[in-house]
Amino acid sequence: MSEHGFALEVAHIIPYALANHDDCRELYFWKMMELFAGVEATNGMFAGMRSQINDLSNLVTLDNSIHSMFDNRRLTLTPITPTGVQIPIVNDHSGDYFLWVRYPKGMPIPELIQSTRACGVGTVKTLFPDCVIPMKYRPGKQSGIPTPPHTSYFALREAMISLRQQCLDD
């Protein structure tokens, strides 16, 4: 529970089940990624995820209701640059970025989904569709503050959701 009364939870950006063991490389998701990125690039993505599945760069703290929506793919957090350009899966982005909030399956009552991060400590902001959450880039640990989640992992999660939806729609 946070100091402001919200139940906070830590969520994996890339699900633990996709890279917690070397055998996970044989999962359909990684085979699908090969079609788009090639075997070599996919092997590199998997190796990176395998070594960092529980690293702070693959974790994000969310309110418990947001965590549930994030896990169920009802809410996506897409990394974009300060100028609004979507950050791709393979990138060398360093610097501040935003997480673009979207509800791919729709959200009948978005005002129920709120965040303190979007406005600063002590302030609550509704996460309406298409709003953005600022993320400050801090390379390594500075003054005990860990590096924020890696943009590549948010972009890879977005690709996972998109691939899954395209397969279900066809």
pLDDT in tens, 3-31: 555 677 889 999 999 999 999 999 988 99
Whole-angstrom Cα Rg for the chain: 16
- The set of long-range contacts for 48-52, using a CB threshold of 8 Å and a minimum separation of 24, is 48/152, 49/14, 49/18, 49/19, 49/153, 49/156, 50/19, 50/20, 50/22, 50/24, 50/25
pLDDT tens column, 39-78: 998 999 899 889 989 988 899 888 787 888 888 888 889 9
DSSP assignment letter at 104 = T
Q: Give tens-digit pLDDT for 81-103.
A: 999 999 988 888 888 899 998 88
- Helix, strand or coil for residue 8? strand
Please state the domain extents for the chain.
8-169
Q: Model's pTM, two decimal places?
A: 0.78
Query: How far apart are the C-alpha atoms of 164 and 126, rounded to whole Å?
Result: 27
DSSP run (H or E) holding 9: strand 8-12
